[in-house]
Amino acid sequence: MNDLIIEQLKSYFKGIDPAELKIEQMEYEENVYDILFEEWGESVGSVRFDELGIAEFFIYTDEIDTLPGKASKFDMIMQAEGFIDRFYNKEFKNGLYLSAYIDLGEYHIVLYNRKDERLDKELPDSGISFTMLSNGLISAVEREKLGYDIHYPDQSITSNQAKEIYYNQLQLEPVIAKYAKDTYLYGDNCYHYVYELEDHIIEVDTAGNIHTTEVLGIGRSIIDKLPNVTNYTDIYTLAGLTEEHMKVAEVKKGNQRMEVWSRLPKESLRVSDEDLTDDELDIPEAIKLVFYNDGRLIKLMGQEYHQSDDVISYEEALNRAISLLAAISIQPLNHFRLQKNLQLPALGEDDGAAEVDSYFFTFIRYERGVRVTDATVTVEVDATGIVKHADADPEVLNDFSNIDLHEEVSLSEARKMIKEALFMDLSWVKDHHAQRYTLSYLPSYPMTTGHIKMIHTKTGEPWVIDTSCMDQY
């Protein structure tokens, strides 16, 4: 460990006296060090070294969040370049250039990459990134490894050929979606009936092969209607509550109400009142239920251990999960459908129920047969039939009955609009596992300031993702 480098890194903990910090090597982690408050031994950051110097550097103390000041984009870039000059040698800095500055509001990212020598195209994830707070203080530095292979193809299809291949595979689906102001240009935060472009296709390689999200382990989904459940089980029984349980806490926050149940008295749980009623924190031996004031369930969190020799089947677990939906919606069979992955069987269906610890279900909100985007309920049912976790997106509780589902722009007309705006951009794509770059055509929309995600079914207006937070160089 280079003591000089360590002392220099201490200076990045603004608002903290460097003399109060000490460095200790992490157990079982070679060349990884904890940065601690010497007096309390509290970790406030870490650093990992390799043969080129600093590979990763993280600050995770809340102290720096409270420091005053507002840094400009120029200040942040200068801060990043100063860090590179201070800690890295010529081998690493060779060919490095400023790629992008991204303003995420609370956080800002300064990104550096390299380009290949023959085509002068950017090599993604080939350099270093800095995450900074609005006051200009660095909170994270992440550096990519050197040593990667660049594969130039002997021959390649044209951009127009790639466009035809991509377009012929592209699917549009009528959906109900929110025109979110923080996502789209000109968003109004209202829900509309639109055509959504499928995200399944990632790229078309130079040989004309389509690459999909399956390379990321994400396959296409199929949607099933829910089986009819004749008798719904109440939410308290689903959560595993018995006569032995006591309500150890109840709190109202805005339009929500939380109940906390346990077999143990409150004092035996040994947690603060704040943690006990935190709707993001699991508490051992406790069950948390969060409702809206009208009684509809929002979230369930159970951390009790249940032992039983009886293991329920997948179908029984699904019926219990649908019973939980009835605590969210008075018409679960009309408003929800079950999402399944084409590549992977639903957990427990093929592996044998005896080997299953839990069944996991994802339910999608529908309105009059039309999917609502970003509106899901996830449910975990353990092998004994107890619902351990359930979480509902707030959107599933919305009333969409006023959405007009009449289409004035046909699906084929919407596809033509996409084709006119679409361009396939030849770009380098990195295989992180093989540390290898290959060329592929990626979809882009050069006549817009971002990617088109939706087409309005009434007006034909494209919904364009707002990329104004990013400056590319």
Residue with tokens 């770059």: 437
Per domain, the residue ranges of the chain are 1-147, 159-220+406-472, 235-343+353-397
Can you tell me the distance from the alpha carbon of 107 to that of 104, in angstroms, rounded to the nearest whole number?
A: 5
- Single pTM value for the model: 0.85
Q: Is 391 exposed, middle or buried (0-12, 13-18, 19+ CB in 10 A)?
A: middle
Q: What is the pLDDT along the chain (473 residues), one digit of tens a residue?
A: 567 787 888 888 877 888 888 888 888 778 898 888 877 778 888 999 888 888 899 988 765 556 667 899 999 999 999 999 999 988 899 999 999 999 998 899 999 999 999 999 999 999 999 999 988 889 999 999 888 999 999 999 999 999 999 999 999 999 999 999 999 999 999 999 999 998 888 899 999 999 987 766 666 778 899 999 888 999 999 999 999 999 999 999 999 999 999 999 999 998 999 999 999 999 999 999 999 989 999 999 998 876 667 889 999 999 999 999 999 998 899 999 999 864 444 444 444 444 678 999 999 999 999 999 999 999 999 999 999 999 999 999 999 999 999 999 999 999 999 999 999 999 999 998 888 999 999 999 998 888 999 999 999 999 999 998 999 98
Dihedral angle, C-alpha 405, 407, 413, 419, nearest 10 °: -20
Dihedral angle, C-alpha 402, 407, 409, 411, nearest 10 °: 120
| Nearest partner of 305 among 361, 263, 254, judged by Cα | 263
The answer to whether the CB of 375 falls within 8 A of the CB of 395 is yes
Q: Is 210 exposed, middle or buried (0-12, 13-18, 19+ CB in 10 A)?
A: middle
